[in-house]
Structure 1
Amino acid sequence: MIFTPDLTTATLIKRYKRFLVDVKLFDNTTLTVHCPNTGSMRSCSTPGSLVAISESDNPKRKYPHTLEMVQDNSTWVGVNTSRTNGLVAEAIEQGRIAEFQQVESIKREVTVSKGSRLDLAVTHENSLTYVEIKNCSLVEENCAMFPDAVTARGTKHLQELMKLVDKGHKACIFFLVQRMDADHFKPAEQIDPIYANSLREAEAKGVMLLAYQAEVSPEKIEVVRKLPINVG
Structure 2
Amino acid sequence: MKFPEPLVEGRLIRRYKRFLADVRLPDGTEVTAHCPNTGSMLGCQPESARVWLSRSNNPKRKLQYTWELVETSPGELACVNTARPNAQAREAVQAGTVVELSGYPECRAEVKYGAEKSRIDLLLSGHGAGPDAWVEVKNVTLAEKNQGFFPDAVTERGQKHLRELMAQVKQGDRAVLFFVVNHTGIETVRPADHIDGKYGELLREARDSGVEVIAYRADLCGSDGNPTGLLTLTEPVPVILEV
Q: Give TM class, smaller chain.
A: over 0.9
**Deviates further, 93-102 or 157-166:** 93-102
Shift of 1:124: 5.4
Query: Shift of the alpha carbon at 1:71?
Result: 0.6
- Tell me the amino acid that sits aligned with residue 167 of structure 1: Q
Partner of 2:135: 131
Separation in 2 of the partners of 1:120 and 1:112? 11
Question: Equivalent of 2:234, from 210, 219, 224?
Answer: 224
In the alignment, which residue of structure 1 is the partner of 2:36?
Answer: 36
- The one-letter amino acid of 2:84's match is R
RMSD: 1.1
Are the counterparts in 2 of residues 14 and 22 from structure 1 also a CA contact under 8 Å?
A: yes
Question: Quick one: which amino acid aligns to residue 173 of structure 1?
Answer: L
Could you tell me how far apart the structure 1 residues matched to 2:108 and 2:64 are?
29
User: What stretches of structure 1 of length at least 5 have no aligned partner?
Assistant: none
- Report the counterpart of residue 143 of structure 1 in structure 2: 147
From 137, 160, 171, the counterpart of 1:167 = 171
Residue 83 of structure 1, CA deviation:
1.1
CA–CA distance in structure 2, aligned partners of residues 164 and 123 of structure 1:
14
Alignment of 1:130-209 (within 5 A): 130-209=134-213
Secondary structure of the residue aligned to 1:230 is coil
| Secondary structure of 2:165 counterpart | helix
Q: CA deviation at 1:102?
A: 2.0
The aligned residue for residue 94 of structure 1 is 95
- In 2, distance between residues paired with 1:220 and 1:9? 15
Residue 119 in 1 paired to residue 129 in 2?
A: no
Q: CA deviation at 1:229?
A: 1.1
Tell me if the contact between 2:147 and 2:188 (Cα under 8 Å) persists in the aligned partners.
yes
Instruction: Give the conservation status (yes or no) of the 8 Å contact 1:131–1:173.
Output: yes
2: CA distance, partners of 1:45 / 1:78: 11
Segments ≥4 residues shifted beyond 3 Å: none
- Structure 2: how far apart are the matches of 1:112 and 1:198? 19
User: How far off is 1:56 after superposition?
Assistant: 1.3
Which segment drifts farther, 190-199 or 178-187? 178-187
Residues in 2 aligned to 1:65 and 1:228: alpha-carbon distance in whole angstroms: 34
1:101–1:124 Cα contact (<8 Å) kept? no
Alignment gaps of 5+ in structure 2: 222-226
Cα offset for 1:179? Answer: 1.5
CA distance in 2, matches of 1:174, 1:148: 16
Specify the code of the residue in structure 1 equivalent to 2:22: D
Q: CA deviation at 1:109?
A: 0.2
1:22-67 per-residue CA deviation (whole Å, 9 max, x = no partner) reads 0000000000000000010011011210000001122221111100
Any idea what SS the aligned residue of 1:81 has?
A: coil
TM-superposition CA deviations, 1:81-128 (whole Å, max 9, x none): 011100100011111101111231110001113521110101253231
TM-score by length of 1: 0.97
CA distance in 2: counterparts of 1:113 and 1:183, whole angstroms: 33
Q: What is the distance in 1 between the residues matched to 2:233 and 2:118?
A: 27
**Structure 1 counterpart of 2:55:** 55
Q: Does the 8 Å CA contact 2:114/2:167 hold for their aligned counterparts?
A: no
Task: Give the letter for the 2:205 counterpart.
Answer: E
TM superposition score normalised by structure 2:
0.93
Give, in whole Å, the separation in 1 of the partners of 2:185 and 2:177. Answer: 22
Deviations 1:113-167 (A, max 9, x none): 3521110101253231000000010010111110000000000000000011111
Q: Does 2:9 correspond to 1:9?
A: yes
Distance 1:224 1:179 in 2: 13
